[in-house]
Amino acid sequence: MPDIDPSRLSLERKAALLSGQDFWSTRPVQDAGLPSVVLTDGPHGVRRQVGEFDHMGIYESLPSTCFPPAVAVGSSWDPEVAARIGAAVGREARALGVHVVLGPGVNIKRSPLCGRNFEYYSEDPLLSGHLGAAHVRGQQEQGVGASVKHFAVNNQETDRMRVSADVDERTLREIYLPAFEHIVTEAAPATVMAAYNKVNGVHAAQNRWLLTEVLRDEWGFTGAVVSDWGAVHDPVASVRAGLDLEMPGPSPENARRIVDAVRDGELDECVVDMAVRRIVALAGLAAEQPDETDGSPEFYGSPESYGSDELVGFDADAHHRLARELAAECAVLLRNEDNTLPLASARRIAVIGEFAATPRYQAGGSSHLNPARLDNALDAIRESAAAHGSTVEFAPGFTLDGSGDAVALREAAVAAARSSDVAVVFAGLAESAESEGFDRDDLCLPAVQVELIRAVAAEAARTVVVLSNGGIVSLEGWHDEVDAILEGFLLGQGGGGALADLLFGEANPSGRLAETIPLRLEDNPSFANFPGEHGHVRYGEGVMVGYRWYGTTGAPVRYPFGHGLSYTTFAVGDLAVASTGVDSARVSLTVTNTGARAGKHVVQVYVATEAGPVRRPARELRAFAKVRLAPGESRTIGFDLGRRAFAHYDVQDGGWAVAPGEYLVQIGENAAAVIAEAAVSLAGDAVAQELTLESTFGEWIAHPVIGATLLQELTAALPDDQGSQLGDRPELLQAVRDVPMKRVVGLVEGDALDRTLERLMERTRVVRRP
């Protein structure tokens, strides 16, 4: 670990350290033995550029394994999948001389239109946080730092470098920050990446509340805060807010501004020193990592050879097998009428759709990799079909760029479907349809594909649709006409093989939706407020994001959050819930594989309550586990639900609160289907709100400490005629419910009531909650 005392460096050298030496690395201090740290994208593979540099995935990068992107990992609902990807990315990073891989991305999928949803896990913060933490742990165990991004509230690409995400604090705390919080507190990432956008009017990269008060002071983050590439606008404000490293670099002009600010007394030098210390600490990753590249650029081969098989430093075949195995954990079987899948008994298979031959497996932008290997589903299906003694006929059905004779392509596909036992249509979005940098306008599949699916379904004995898309697509207009739908999202370079494994039953589907598929885009809760206007996007739906909204309003959806089928069946029983304290509970249940195949079930634990003073979503995911079971096997699973599983964020008190009351622990087949539930009563926080004369009459009456005695004392304090009226006319109490107590006092003669209230107020000044 380099040991550098900032006070021994000149202010100029320190300021220079606060931005990179180039596009992908930090500035070394050779005479002090401080190495340069190489940071690169991420997240589902290593995008190591050694020729020309960019952050939009334009220029070539060295070959590396393209693992399933976050959209797929989210659907695996399996932290082990995330951890194994993190570990493999870490191994490749070491081999490629990288010290920090930029990821995972854990922003919430607020709108299905967000162009980067493929890079994010879920619409739910708990699922995102657990998967993100597992990825970080896996990667960092290899000695390679992570950069959790994009902190925070970066939920759209439209106007992404300027837009202000205007969000109330409860929504921030309950929806947009918890994934970051969980990862920071549980997995200690080496860095956090500050987002491009503003949060409530202040750029994330110069937002002191976010970068210092919340991230460091509350969550205890000790790593370095890195800017997103080009996110720094005012370097002095950024450093003051808690940003340590501006990327990319170098930024001599910004270094000069920092020096001037210190000299002019606008910026305390010790703030600069703190940032330098964190960058020095980060350099520990480089100091501890032996340079497996020998420091020689030739080690990587020439840019011309990137696409070839001249791979270095990691076992590309083993990682490819891993990519295929993990991809099979991620796909979601949405529909499977009459057990159309697996295909084992189909003798003649028509494979239709260009995506079978030209896989769609990753998306555009900074995460775009140069895959070391690449499967396509068609070859893998041919291989499996041969093993099953089946035949395969392929028809592209459409072209990806819209060229060619659409009618002729469709007719050829329909002819193939007609002479098959089953038609498998590979549909989806072309890479040009979604990417970092822009949002989509709708959820539609290209019309030519919808027409193809319908035409095939009308003629084929059975129709299976396999989807490849980074953001969800609408299934309307064709859903009911097909027998099975396998949603692959983007599965990485092993996706083609994984899809064949799933179609033939070599692997049993176990993915679950990490986001809702609505019937209409208009049903999405962010619809009226996305992507905003005049530089602001208002998060008007508050905490009612995704399934929280659909569950609360009861609006029908096509497939709910958490939905996914299997080739086997599961039963859940013996649900027991018991409180383990005033604000915690233990849940246990038994899961049984009641079918004939081994498979994995995702146990989803939701909590529903009306306790407390805030409007709660109908139910919220509070724990989950993916369990593998052999046919007939049963297992008892336990969950400890801590305080946060029951808490809401109390903006008045500025903290988490557990309201006393009843909480339903619900086991969901998905977010819309509760299969077992049990109630638990929690004493919650003993602390009650402190009353003042600004508190309403209703708040006084409802107060757990003095509420019960208030009426008695009030009646006693009032002149006789007023006192008796209170008892006889309950509507009087109702009418003054929302009136501040100081106004009620004004209605009463004399000062007896003032004295009573003074005394009662004193009794409400009690201990705060934990």
Cβ of residue 363: shortest distance to ligand BGC, in angstroms?
Answer: 12
Is residue 163 a contact point for ligand BGC (CB under 6 A)?
A: no
Distance between CA atoms of 520 and 720, rounded to whole angstroms? 62
Which residues within the stretch 684-743 sit at the binding site for ligand BGC (CB under 6 A)? none
- Tokens 């990319």 correspond to 248
767 CB neighbour count, 10 Å cutoff? 8
Amino acid identity, position 347: R
Closest residue by Cα to residue 149 from 251, 280, 55, 41: 41
77 CB neighbour count, 10 Å cutoff? 30
Q: Which is nearer to ligand BGC, 42 or 79 (CB)?
A: 42
Q: Which is nearer to ligand BGC, 41 or 244 (CB)?
A: 41
Distance between CA atoms of 12 and 269, rounded to whole angstroms? 11
Q: Which is nearer to ligand BGC, 41 or 515 (CB)?
A: 41
Of 107, 366, 568, 609, which lies in the binding site for ligand BGC, with binding defined by CB under 6 A?
A: 366
Closest residue by Cα to residue 707 from 723, 695, 721, 724: 695
Is residue 306 a contact point for ligand BGC (CB under 6 A)?
A: no
Give the list of residues 6+ apart from residue 92 with CB closer than 8 angstroms, or none.
Answer: 45, 46, 64, 65, 313, 314, 319
Q: Which is nearer to ligand BGC, 49 or 142 (CB)?
A: 49
Cβ of residue 105: shortest distance to ligand BGC, in angstroms?
Answer: 7
Is residue 363 a contact point for ligand BGC (CB under 6 A)?
A: no
Q: Which is nearer to ligand BGC, 329 or 436 (CB)?
A: 436
Task: Look at residue 161 and give its three-state secondary structure.
Answer: coil
Q: Which is nearer to ligand BGC, 366 or 463 (CB)?
A: 366
| Contact characters 213-252, ligand BGC, x per CB under 6 A | ---------------xx-----------------------
Distance between CA atoms of 463 and 474, rounded to whole angstroms? 18
Cβ of residue 53: shortest distance to ligand BGC, in angstroms?
Answer: 9
Cβ of residue 396: shortest distance to ligand BGC, in angstroms?
Answer: 34
Distance between CA atoms of 714 and 711, rounded to whole angstroms? 5
- Tokens 């089946």 correspond to 390
Task: Write out the DSSP string of 318-340.
Answer: HHHHHHHHHHTTT-EEEEEGGG-
The token pair at 582 is 């005033």
| Contact characters 309-348, ligand BGC, x per CB under 6 A | ----------------------------------------
Closest residue by Cα to residue 253 from 503, 19, 95, 47: 19
The whole-angstrom distance between residue 700's C-alpha and the CA centroid of its chain comes to 41
Cβ of residue 157: shortest distance to ligand BGC, in angstroms?
Answer: 9
Q: Which is nearer to ligand BGC, 368 or 462 (CB)?
A: 368
What are the E-state strand segments in 113-261?
A: 145-151, 164-166, 191-194, 198-199, 202-203, 224-227
Cβ of residue 134: shortest distance to ligand BGC, in angstroms?
Answer: 20
Closest residue by Cα to residue 327 from 688, 503, 72: 72
Distance between CA atoms of 244 and 221, rounded to whole angstroms? 13
Is residue 368 a contact point for ligand BGC (CB under 6 A)?
A: no
Sheet with 164-166, edge to edge strand ranges: 202-203, 198-199, 164-166, 536-538
Active site residue 228: yes
Cβ of residue 301: shortest distance to ligand BGC, in angstroms?
Answer: 22
Which residues within the stretch 65-104 sit at the binding site for ligand BGC (CB under 6 A)? 102
In residues, how long is the chain? Answer: 770
Of 14, 44, 48, 55, which lies in the binding site for ligand BGC, with binding defined by CB under 6 A?
A: 55
- Tokens 């049993």 correspond to 508
Distance between CA atoms of 307 and 497, rounded to whole angstroms? 21
Pairing of strands 557-559, 63-64: unpaired
Tell whether the torsion through CA atoms of 426, 427, 428 and 432 is positive or negative: positive
Cβ of residue 440: shortest distance to ligand BGC, in angstroms?
Answer: 18
Cβ of residue 556: shortest distance to ligand BGC, in angstroms?
Answer: 35
Closest residue by Cα to residue 283 from 28, 529, 621: 28
Cβ of residue 149: shortest distance to ligand BGC, in angstroms?
Answer: 5
Q: Which is nearer to ligand BGC, 55 or 240 (CB)?
A: 55
Which residues within the stretch 171-190 sit at the binding site for ligand BGC (CB under 6 A)? none
Amino acid identity, position 193: M
Of 84, 149, 335, 648, which lies in the binding site for ligand BGC, with binding defined by CB under 6 A?
A: 149
Binding residues for ligand BGC, total number by CB under 6 A: 8
Q: Which is nearer to ligand BGC, 230 or 727 (CB)?
A: 230
Q: Which is nearer to ligand BGC, 149 or 382 (CB)?
A: 149
Q: Using omega within 30 degrees of 0 as the cis cutoff, is the peptide bond preceding 371 cis? A: no
The token pair at 387 is 């093993």
Pairing of strands 332-336, 484-487: antiparallel
Cβ of residue 55: shortest distance to ligand BGC, in angstroms?
Answer: 3
Q: Which is nearer to ligand BGC, 41 or 329 (CB)?
A: 41
Closest residue by Cα to residue 176 from 437, 548, 474: 548
Of 18, 20, 25, 41, which lies in the binding site for ligand BGC, with binding defined by CB under 6 A?
A: 41
Which residues within the stretch 97-136 sit at the binding site for ligand BGC (CB under 6 A)? 102
Query: How many CA within 13 A on the CB side of residue 658?
Result: 22
| Contact characters 508-547, ligand BGC, x per CB under 6 A | ----------------------------------------
Closest residue by Cα to residue 86 from 136, 38, 148: 136
Indicate which residue of 78, 124, 228, 483 is catalytic.
228
Q: Using omega within 30 degrees of 0 as the cis cutoff, is the peptide bond preceding 43 cis? A: yes
Task: Look at residue 645 and give its three-state secondary structure.
Answer: helix
Closest residue to ligand BGC, Cβ-based? 55
Q: Which is nearer to ligand BGC, 195 or 350 (CB)?
A: 195
Cβ of residue 205: shortest distance to ligand BGC, in angstroms?
Answer: 12
Distance between CA atoms of 687 and 681, rounded to whole angstroms? 17
Residue 370: enclosing H or E segment and its boundaries? strand 370-371
Which sequence positions are flagged as catalytic? 228
Where on the chain is the footprint of ligand BGC (CB under 6 A)? 41-42, 55, 102, 149, 228-229, 366
